Chain A
Amino acid sequence: MTRYLIIRAVGVIPTLIGISILVFGITYLIPGDPALIMAGSEATPEVVANLRQQWGLDQPVYIRYLSWLGNMVRGNLGDSYFSRQTVTQLVGNALPVTLELAILSLLVAMLIAIPTGIVSAVKAGSWFDLGAAALAFIGLSIPSFWLGIMLIYVFAVHLQQLPAGGFTPLSAGLWPNLQSMILPSIALGTFASTQLMRYLRASLLDVLHADYIRTSRAKGLRERSVLLRHAVRNALIPFTTVLGVQMGYLLGGTVIAESVFALPGIGRLVLTAVLNRDYQVATGIIFLIATAFVLINLVVDMIYPILDPRVRLARSGG
């Protein structure tokens, strides 16, 4: 057991090195010069060269990589070339916005997907089911940025009930904060809900045809009880797993939603960094996210044997 944990922990090191090479290499391969972007087109070549020197961009790529890696190991994600703020500081400001958006979007997705999915499965082949399927296909086909702009037009410009963009922090009050997040959450959550709804319907249909459901009915249980206590609960197990995967997609999908709704989240931060060739910020954030996933994987691997004796047994019995 201990040997297994050590092997897993050590195995993370080459993974992280591999990720660092990929992240650094890809970011630096993008054509463009941050010094030129900073200094502007009107700056003389000497001024641009001077900035490149100050930022160490005149160094060979392997030296820049090693220097960057060294800083990473020491927990220093670097400073933005442009704003001169630390990447940690920038991430610290942006991450809560993105997390809030992703969580609320998931909530919206669940609120739409769970009831619709259940009714569609129970009334499979009905007008409701067909209508829901049609709406799901439409929802899948609508780009979230278009839906976002339409929502803004209807609820902000026309009805003037919600803000047309921008972020109000929680410190300014719960309701103002929620108001600024309602439309982006709907825009992002609608897309996710269509997939979740179809998945839940399929999963529930499978369960509804299972023997134990037939047995439950044969025992004389009420249909409501069969559905909610036996069928839905079982159908929600794989659904929950997919829900987790969706959360990952939602976090990634915030790039567009944050741009449309002018939210100062991670997605917009990465996008700006890539456009400006702010290598330190772009590589820092992408590496941070990748590292987080690797470490979560490691922790889960370590927790598995503790939580599930069958897995521990399998590993020891080998």
Chain B
Amino acid sequence: METRVKLPLTRRAFLTRAAIGLAATLGTGVLAACAPSAPSAPAKPAEPAKPAEAAKPAAAAPTQAPIPVTAVVQPTAAPAAAAAPAPTQAPAAAKPSAGGTLTVSQSVDINTLHPWIGTLNVWKGIKTDVYDQLSFQDPATFEFKPKLAKSFEWVDNNTSLLVTLPSGVMFHNGEKLTAEDVKFTLDSILDQQTGSWLRGFLAPIKEVQVVDETHLKLKTANIEAQLIPAFSYVDISPKSMGTDLAKKNPVGSGPFKFVEWVPNDRIVLEKNAQYWDQARIPKVDKIIFKPVTEMQTRLSQVLAGNVDLVYDFALSEVPRMQADKRVVVTLNPPAEQSFAMYLNMRKPPFDKVEMRQAMGWALDREAFFKNFQSGIGSTVGNSPFTDKHWAYEPKTAAAYKFDPDKVGQLMEKAGFPKGQGLDFSLLVPNGYPEFKQISTMLQATFASLGFQPQIEEVEIAQWSQRLNQSREFFAAVDYPGRGTADPALTYSAGLLYPPNPANICGLAPETMPGYVDALKEGAQTTDQAKRKEAYSKAQMLWVEHLPGPVFGHRSAAHAALPGVKGFIPHAAFQQSWTDVSVEK
């Protein structure tokens, strides 16, 4: 006889339903959260430029000086103190008070503590002050200057770079920093086993020789102009720490000490009062970095006074934030990052130069910047550099602009009249609205000429894999950086310009005859006129063959409370916080 009691909902049924409910909701939540959202991007290695006056973003962009190739003197003043174009909230505007805590809201959390492996810009903005680097890029002038190094000098008939270090530099763990630590760092990065993305930056180094405790010789085949700018990315770590640095709290010799990382919550740094360079002793006692993925929350945090500074937010929000008296908006002049497109030259239709050129004429650049970037940015395109850079070739300016008729003609010349037989799509990562906006505008141009390319929107990880590994794409927008760097570094590293196996477009040395020779000449001479000539040639070859159209240059925006003084955003996100003070 069945005597089991039938309850309306048994505990077991409840638990089962709860489990299903949790799994379903968790799954739905994850999927929903993966969907396109405001620009609070997950994890992509690239980003903004440098400081400027809020109202006139492009006006303050300085001319970049050529890199030093002979002896240079260690600067005694703090980097930001040498800033030429003052940002909106100039440090001198109010008397900065020492001490206190600076709270910075960032768009994503870091994903590793490894200094040579982590690629995220948010990580660069933290570790730059924890470690010392041999050189740094002045955030105001874009010049590369010695930082830890006292000087760089090409010796031995220009086949060795002699690096002189200061004495008395101590790591945060109390060890003395010597040439052995620098050698260890450089050798480790060059070792494939370490897995550092910086390996290509240092590739010209054949051997690192320790001369004495404060001198090293880096053996190369020739002068290599990319090295000194590349050193600004290289964090010097103590030899005793080894190379498995992801599991350990960072130990550097920089002006801030690392305190803790609580994933998805905070990263805390504290002032290193014993920092060797007294001119760069931090003004604040502590910095707390908070990862906040939702952009509206980040902006609300600064408006509510919960954080002191929001680092990098969407330009579409600039007018609203500028109108609010509670915050001060600082803009990077458009220079470091360019809106560019990878065209896969390995297969049709972009194996044909006419189709690549058609893409160059297909975007209404003015409309893009006006409608989607709040009018902030630079339509000076067709080159990795803007017209403020010494290497910029002005003849590239007129090479491409918006002209649908020209697109139609080139399509016909390529064998696709009115889009007949044409087949390509535009690959877009979700979470990057600018890429979608440009792709949609390009889609509209081609649609008006008879062919409507599809927009394939995928997750960032998938986007990255398809571009870098499987190469299953036709065309994709990105904003590659290093437009403010020395051209030797711009053209030797990255994914768009260097002709090597990592090039996303499939650019090989033979694709553009004369291109590699021009790049070598530019990188291996100290004659500035010859360098300019070589890079002009490289830029002209680029616009002729157009492996990737460059549509313009991107700016970036940051918002801070009025009490935050001395903040000068760094072009390449190698942000230093030593000059920043907070008045509560």
> Which residue numbers of A lie inside 8 Å of B, CB to CB?
30-33, 36-48, 50-51, 54, 82-85, 90, 93-94, 145, 149, 152-153, 156-157, 160, 163-167, 237-238, 241-242, 244-245, 247-249, 251-256, 259-262, 264-265, 267-272, 274-277, 286, 289-290, 293-294, 296-297, 300-301, 304, 308, 310-311, 313-314, 317
Chain A residues whose CB sits within 8 angstroms of the CB of B261 once the complex forms: 83
Chain B residues whose CB sits within 8 angstroms of the CB of A43 once the complex forms: 195-197, 199
CA distance A32 to B470 in the complex (A): 10
Chain A residues whose CB sits within 8 angstroms of the CB of B4 once the complex forms: 310-311, 314
B173 on the A face (CB < 8 A): no
CA distance A93 to B264 in the complex (A): 10
Q: List 22 A-B contacts (CB under 8 A).
A: A30-B461, A31-B465, A32-B462, A33-B464, A33-B465, A36-B464, A41-B504, A47-B196, A50-B192, A93-B262, A93-B265, A157-B303, A245-B21, A256-B29, A256-B33, A262-B291, A262-B297, A267-B26, A275-B42, A277-B461, A304-B11, A313-B3
Contact between A261 and B22, CB atoms less than 8 A apart: no
Min distance, Cβ B263 to any Cβ of chain A, angstroms: 6
Since A32-B459, A260-B297, A265-B264 are in contact, a sample of 6 more A-B pairs with Cβ atoms closer than 8 Å, ordered by chain A residue number, is A38-B112, A43-B195, A145-B294, A164-B297, A253-B29, A289-B23
Min distance, Cβ B398 to any Cβ of chain A, angstroms: 31
Closest residue of chain B to A294, judged by CB?
B19
Min distance, Cβ B73 to any Cβ of chain A, angstroms: 32
Chain A residues whose CB sits within 8 angstroms of the CB of B300 once the complex forms: 149, 152-153, 156-157, 164-165
Chain A residues whose CB sits within 8 angstroms of the CB of B291 once the complex forms: 262
**Known interface pairs A36-B468, A156-B304. Does A267 touch B45 (Cβ–Cβ under 8 Å)?**
no
Min distance, Cβ B337 to any Cβ of chain A, angstroms: 14
Chain B residues whose CB sits within 8 angstroms of the CB of A83 once the complex forms: 111-113, 246, 261, 263
Min distance, Cβ B146 to any Cβ of chain A, angstroms: 25
Q: Which residue from A238, A248, A268, A270 sits with its C-beta under 8 Å from B19?
A: A248
Which stretch of B407-415, B493-501, B558-566 is in the interface? Answer: B493-501
Contact between B5 and A308, CB atoms less than 8 A apart: yes
**Known interface pairs A157-B300, A166-B290, A310-B4. Does A255 touch B30 (Cβ–Cβ under 8 Å)?**
yes
Closest residue of chain B to A35, judged by CB?
B195
B25 on the A face (CB < 8 A): yes
Chain B residues whose CB sits within 8 angstroms of the CB of A84 once the complex forms: 112-113, 246-247
Contact between B297 and A165, CB atoms less than 8 A apart: yes
Contact between B16 and A297, CB atoms less than 8 A apart: yes
Q: Return the CB mask of B248-286 against A: 1 if under 8 Å, else 0.
A: 000000000000011111000000000000000000000
Please count the residue pairs between chain A and chain B whose beta carbons lie under 8 angstroms apart in the complex.
265
**Known interface pairs A165-B306, A264-B263. Does A270 touch B26 (Cβ–Cβ under 8 Å)?**
yes
Min distance, Cβ B44 to any Cβ of chain A, angstroms: 8
Closest 9 CB pairs of A and B: A252-B25, A32-B461, A255-B29, A40-B119, A248-B18, A293-B19, A264-B265, A314-B4, A264-B264
Chain A residues whose CB sits within 8 angstroms of the CB of B494 once the complex forms: 42
Closest residue of chain B to A247, judged by CB?
B18
CA distance A240 to B234 in the complex (A): 59
Chain B residues whose CB sits within 8 angstroms of the CB of A313 once the complex forms: 3
Q: Which residue from A47, A156, A244, A317 sits with its C-beta under 8 Å from B195?
A: A47
Q: Return the CB mask of B104-148 against A: 1 if under 8 Å, else 0.
A: 000001011100010100000000000000000000000000000
Min distance, Cβ B325 to any Cβ of chain A, angstroms: 13
Central interface residue in B16, B111, B246, by most chain A CB within 10 Å: B111
CA distance A296 to B19 in the complex (A): 10
Min distance, Cβ B111 to any Cβ of chain A, angstroms: 4
Min distance, Cβ A258 to any Cβ of chain B, angstroms: 8
Contact between B264 and A36, CB atoms less than 8 A apart: no
CA distance A265 to B264 in the complex (A): 8
> Which B1-49 residues sit within 8 Å CB-CB of chain A?
1-5, 8-9, 11-12, 14-19, 21-30, 32-34, 42-43, 45
Contact between B462 and A164, CB atoms less than 8 A apart: no
Contact between A245 and B306, CB atoms less than 8 A apart: no
Contact between A290 and B23, CB atoms less than 8 A apart: yes
Contact between B461 and A165, CB atoms less than 8 A apart: no
Contact between B246 and A47, CB atoms less than 8 A apart: no
CA distance A290 to B23 in the complex (A): 8
> Which B460-503 residues sit within 8 Å CB-CB of chain A?
460-462, 464-465, 467-469, 493-495, 501-502
Contact between B292 and A166, CB atoms less than 8 A apart: yes
CA distance A267 to B27 in the complex (A): 10
Contact between A300 and B263, CB atoms less than 8 A apart: no
**Known interface pairs A41-B45, A41-B468. Does A241 touch B9 (Cβ–Cβ under 8 Å)?**
yes
Chain A residues whose CB sits within 8 angstroms of the CB of B394 once the complex forms: none
Q: Which residue from B199, B294, B464 sits with its C-beta under 8 Å from A41?
A: B464
Contact between A45 and B21, CB atoms less than 8 A apart: no
Min distance, Cβ B305 to any Cβ of chain A, angstroms: 7
Chain B residues whose CB sits within 8 angstroms of the CB of A156 once the complex forms: 300-301, 303-304, 306
Contact between A276 and B11, CB atoms less than 8 A apart: no
